[in-house]
C-alpha cells in the first residue's frame, strides 16, 4: 500500500509524527510494508515554526517540500493544489492522508478526490460553527470529501452523523495529539525554565529575578490580532493587570509580532518587566511551560487539548471552540472568555489558584495512530 501524507503548518507536525511512527512499527513486522511519502507544503517555513518540530518529533525529512510560503488563502490553497496535483499523478498513492484544518488539508483533499484517490482525514468532525474562521471552511470541505474520517471524540462523530456522513466512513479513534504528548512528556519534564527563556528570549528579560508564578500566552487568530482595537485592549489588560499576578511568558507567533509593530504596541510589550517575550518555541518547551503554568491564555486549538490532559487552567481567548470536549463542563480545562476583558479578568481570578486537574477524554490514551493505521489497512483489504 502506498500512502501519501501532507503537512503544511505547525499544528500538523504533532499530528503526523505518531502516524509515521505507526507506519515504521508496522513495516518492521509485516510482510506487506507500507510505502509512505511525506509532503510539506512549506506554508510554515521559519526554522522554529517547522524544522525544529521535525527534529524534535523525529519526523523524517519530507520527501518533497513545495515551498509554498505565505500569501492569501486563495494563493496558498491554489499553489498547493497545482503542485500537489503533479505529485499525486506521478506517485499514484492508494491513500492521501490529511491532518487538522489548515490550508494544506483543504488543498490536498480536493486535489486527491479530483484524481480519484481515496482520502483519509485525521481529526475529522470538529466544528466551531463559526464560518468566519478559515479553518472551519477547511474542516467542512475536507470532511465532505474524505472516504475515512477519524474522529478524536464522540462529539465530533455526532457532528458528522448530523451532517449526513455515512456511518461506515466514520471511525472514532481518539486524539492523535495525545500520542505525541505521551511520547514526549518525560523529555519535556527534564527541561529547565531558565534555559528555555535564555535560548528563546526577545526582550532581554533579567533572569536574576525569581520567576515563580507564571502564565503562558499565545495568540495568533485573525479575530484577535488583525483588529487594532481588540489587540490594543488585550495588550493594555495584559500589561497592566495580568502582570500584577504573574510573570507572563509569551512565545510570539510571526503574524502577531507583525501586527504589534504595525499598531505601535511592540515597545509597550518589550518594555514590560513582567512579560517575557520569546520567539516561537519548540514542542517540548511548550509542554514544559504549560505544565508549570498557573494559567494559559490562548486562542490555539491544540493548546486547549494539551491543557486538558495536563490539567492546566486554560482561558481560551475565543467565543467558540471546535473542541468542546476540552471545556470545563465536559471535564476539560478550558473556559471560553472571548476577548472581553471583564470575562478574562473574572475567570483569571477564579482559576489562578486552582489545582491542576488532568483529564483524559475517552480514547485519549496514546494509541490513536495505531488504530488509524489498522483502519486504513482493513479498509484497503
Ligand atoms: C496557520 C493555520 C492555523 C494554525 C496556525 C498555527 C491556516 C488557514 N491557518 O495560521 O490554522 O492555527 O497556522 O501557527 O492554514 N509566517 C512567518 N513564518 C512562518 C510562517 C508564517 O513569518 O514560518 C508569517 C506569514 O508570512 C504570515 C503570517 O505569519 O504573514 C501568518 O502565516 P499563515 O501561514 O498565513 O497563517 P497562520 O496565522 O500561521
> Given this model, what pLDDT does residue 209 score?
79
Can you tell me the distance from the alpha carbon of 287 to that of 300, in angstroms, rounded to the nearest whole number? 14
Distance 256 CA to ligand 1 centre (A): 10
Q: Which CATH class is domain 184-351?
A: alpha beta
CA dist list (Å): 199 to 76, 157, 194, 287? 32, 42, 9, 16
Spell out the domain ranges in the chain.
2-175+365-380, 184-351
> Given this model, what pLDDT does residue 302 score?
97
> Given this model, what pLDDT does residue 353 score?
87
Asked if the domains 2-175+365-380 and 184-351 are classified in one and the same CATH topology, the answer is yes
What is the length of the chain?
Answer: 381
- 367 three-state secondary structure: coil
Atom of ligand 1 minimally distant from the CA of 100: 11
Atom of ligand 1 minimally distant from the CA of 76: 35
Q: Count of alpha carbons within 13 Å of 72, Cβ hemisphere only?
A: 3
Distance 350 CA to ligand 1 centre (A): 32
Grid cell at residue 156: 465530533
Which residues in the chain land under pLDDT 70? Answer: none
Strands (E), 284-359: 295-298, 314-316, 334-336
Sheet with 148-151, strands from edge to edge, namely: 64-65, 35-40, 2-7, 95-99, 118-122, 148-151, 170-172
How many CB atoms within 10 Å of residue 190?
A: 8
Cβ 256 under 6 angstroms from ligand 1: no
Distance 72 CA to ligand 1 centre (A): 10
CATH classification number, 2-175+365-380, choose in 3.40.50.2000, 3.60.110.10, 3.40.50.150, 2.60.120.640: 3.40.50.2000
- Host H or E run for residue 127: none
DSSP secondary structure string for all residues of 175-239: -HHHHHHHHHHHHHHT--HHHHHHHHBSS---TTS---SEEEEE---HHHHSSHHHHHHHHHHII
> Given this model, what pLDDT does residue 195 score?
95
- 172 three-state secondary structure: strand
Amino acid at each position: 500500500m502506498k500512502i501519501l501524507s501532507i503537512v503544511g503548518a505547525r499544528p500538523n507536525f504533532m499530528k503526523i509524527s505518531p502516524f509515521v511512527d505507526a507506519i515504521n512499527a508496522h513495516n518492521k513486522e509485516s510482510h506487506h510494508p507500507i510505502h509512505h511519502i511525506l509532503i510539506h507544503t512549506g506554508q510554515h517555513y521559519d526554522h522554529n515554526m517547522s524544522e525544529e518540530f521535525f527534529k524534535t518529533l523525529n519526523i523524517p525529512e519530507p520527501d518533497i517540500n513545495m515551498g509554498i510560503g505565505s500569501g492569501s488563502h486563495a494563493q496558498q490553497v491554489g499553489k498547493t493544489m497545482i503542485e500537489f496535483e503533479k505529485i499525486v499523478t506521478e506517485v499514484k498513492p492508494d491513500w492521501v492522508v490529511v491532518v487538522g484544518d489548515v490550508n494544506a488539508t483543504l488543498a490536498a483533499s480536493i486535489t486527491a478526490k479530483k484524481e480519484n484517490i481515496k482520502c483519509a482525514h485525521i481529526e475529522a468532525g470538529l466544528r466551531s460553527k463559526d464560518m468566519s474562521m478559515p479553518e472551519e471552511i477547511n474542516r467542512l470541505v475536507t470532511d465532505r470529501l474524505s472516504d475515512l474520517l477519524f474522529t478524536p471524540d464522540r462529539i465530533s462523530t455526532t457532528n458528522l452523523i448530523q451532517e449526513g456522513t455515512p456511518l461506515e466512513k466514520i471511525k472514532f479513534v481518539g486524539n492523535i495529539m495525545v500520542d505525541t504528548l505521551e511520547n514526549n512528556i518525560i523529555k519535556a519534564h527534564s527541561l529547565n525554565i531558565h534555559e528555555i527563556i535564555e535560548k528563546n528570549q526577545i526582550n532581554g528579560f533579567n533572569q536574576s529575578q525569581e520567576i515563580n508564578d507564571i502564565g503562558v500566552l499565545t495568540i495568533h487568530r485573525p479575530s484577535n490580532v488583525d483588529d487594532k482595537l481588540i489587540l490594543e485592549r488585550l495588550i493594555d489588560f495584559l500589561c497592566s493587570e495580568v502582570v500584577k499576578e504573574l510573570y507572563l511568558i509569551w512565545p510570539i507567533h510571526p503574524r502577531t509580532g507583525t501586527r504589534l509593530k504595525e499598531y505601535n504596541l511592540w515597545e509597550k510589550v518589550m518594555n514590560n518587566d513582567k512579560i517575557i517575550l520569546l520567539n516561537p518555541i519548540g514542542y517540548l518547551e511548550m509542554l514544559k511551560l504549560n505544565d508549570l503554568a498557573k494559567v494559559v491564555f490562548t486562542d490555539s486549538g491544540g493548546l486547549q487539548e494539551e491543557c486538558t490532559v495536563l490539567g492546566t487552567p486554560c482561558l481560551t481567548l475565543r467565543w467558540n471552540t471546535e473542541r468542546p470536549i476540552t471545556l470545563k463542563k465536559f471535564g476539560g480545562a478550558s473556559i471560553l472568555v472571548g476577548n472581553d476583558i471583564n470575562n478574562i479578568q473574572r475567570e483569571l481570578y477564579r482559576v489562578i489558584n486552582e489545582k491542576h486537574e488532568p483529564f483524559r477524554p475517552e480514547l485519549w490514551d496514546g494509541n490513536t495512530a495505531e488504530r488509524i493505521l489498522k483502519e486504513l489497512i482493513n479498509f484497503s483489504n
